[in-house]
Amino acid sequence: MARSKKVCSQTHAIHTGVYKDNQYNSVTTPIYTSSTYYFNSVNDPPPYDYTRTGNPTRQALNESIAQLEGGHAAFTTNTGMSAILTTLMLLNEGDHIICGHELYGGTFRLFTQVLSKFKLDFSLVDMTRNENIRAAVRHNTRLIYFETPTNPLLNIVNIEAVVEIAHKHHLLTVLDNTFMTPFLQRPIDFGVDLVLHSTTKYMNGHSDMLGGAIVTREKEMSERIFFLVNALGTGAPPFDAWLALRGIKTLGLRMEYHLRNAASIVDFILGSKLIKKVFYPGLNKHPQHELAKKQQKGFGGILSFELDLNKVDINLFFKNLTYFHLCVSLGGVESLIEQPWSMSHAAMNEKARLAAGLSPGIVRISAGIEDSIDLVTDIETALNAAKL
């Protein structure tokens, strides 16, 4: 598969999509809050006429993300969920979608409780096995939707293999790249058609806005997504777009710290007798460790582990942490911790959570960019305080 000529680098993160204002010579993109723009005459429209359709601050962010992901274009939205919803609006009544059985809980809810009402049919499969994907293809299948690494157990799906199956059956491929960011994984280089983000997470990185992105591979798809974002009104608000644009400038640097801290935490918890299992693609014994090495440029800033609930009181553990906030979400500069069973994946019914391999003892960490030693000591102290 031909790689995109657009590269992902710190230089591009800082310099692409920056609209310097030439009235005051600003070096950063201003926030254009205007909802509407004046025409000089009916035959002489401005470059943007109405912010739902287009906005200079949003456009700067779109260009930045398209560059980093190596896409033809990017369209930023007001949340990650609206990026997913907008993309699924490419489909028609009666279409069938194959998706991972271990997805972000909100995505599962959108698919099974909302879109299914509009006669879209979903098959949830363990996508770490290519034969499951092949077996799920039907005459009306139109799209394969997946996350890799999966959330929260960090299984790795073979992107090239999914694309190959999709091409054979003329299916669209959609990959939520929120966990990795283009600094660690560029799905378009593997032939994926649409790459999604919750920019709320690493892309912005400061836990202070909500947003999403849809990155396209080809012009025709860009036109279809542009149409849908305008028709549905899901475009990113200017202020949130500006925050994400600012956050992206340090994305590469932040990712280095997230990776370093996740690896340090993993090193420490591997030695704990209070922890039954560690889920992290960087471990040699992780079932798809080699694949992760091949398709990712790093193992990521997220890790999960299973506490032995016979030996630890999970609530006391959370209460005794100083630097980890008990929160859903991920990808911010501050370390976050959560119980997927009752928090990020509560939108999945119990049967679906069990099928995805979840249990109440599983804890997910989003490693922030604090000093590693403080994070490791914090976990050690809290585990000791929560021993039964």
Ligand X SMILES: Cc1ncc(COP(=O)(O)O)c(C=O)c1O
Residues annotated catalytic, as ranges: 52, 104, 176, 201
Count other Cβ atoms within 10 Å, centred on residue 271. 7
| Least distance (Å) between residue 41 CB and ligand X | 41
* Phi, psi angles (nearest 5°) of residue 291: -65, -40
How does 286-301 read in b/e, with b if 16+ C-beta sit within 10 Å?
A: bebbebbeebbbbbbb
106: contact with ligand X by CB under 6 A? yes
79: contact with ligand X by CB under 6 A? yes
128: contact with ligand X by CB under 6 A? no
205: contact with ligand X by CB under 6 A? no
| Least distance (Å) between residue 340 CB and ligand X | 10
| Least distance (Å) between residue 211 CB and ligand X | 6
User: Which of residues 81, 165, 180, 321 is near ligand X by CB under 6 A?
Assistant: 81
Residue (95 or 147) nearer to ligand X, CB:
147
| Least distance (Å) between residue 2 CB and ligand X | 27
User: Which of residues 32, 75, 104, 108 is near ligand X by CB under 6 A?
Assistant: 104
Chain positions 144 to 183 lying near ligand X, rule: CB under 6 A, are 147, 151, 176, 178
> What does the DSSP 8-state code read for residue 346?
T
In which element (H, E) is residue 157 found? none
80: contact with ligand X by CB under 6 A? yes
Q: How far apart are alpha carbons 26 and 197 in whole angstroms? A: 29
User: Could you please report the per-residue DSSP string of 180-229?
Assistant: T-TTT--GGGGT-SEEEEETTTTTT-SSS---EEEEESSHHHHHHHHHHH
Q: Torsion over CA of 26, 77, 10 and 336, rounded to 10 degrees? A: 110
- Tell me, residue by residue from 283 to 322, as one string, x for binding to ligand X by CB under 6 A and - for no binding: ----------------------------------------
Residue (180 or 266) nearer to ligand X, CB:
180
Token digits of residue 367 = 């490693």
| CB distance 362 to 305 below 8 Å | yes
Where on the chain is the footprint of ligand X (CB under 6 A)? 79-81, 104, 106-107, 147, 151, 176, 178, 198, 200, 210, 212, 329
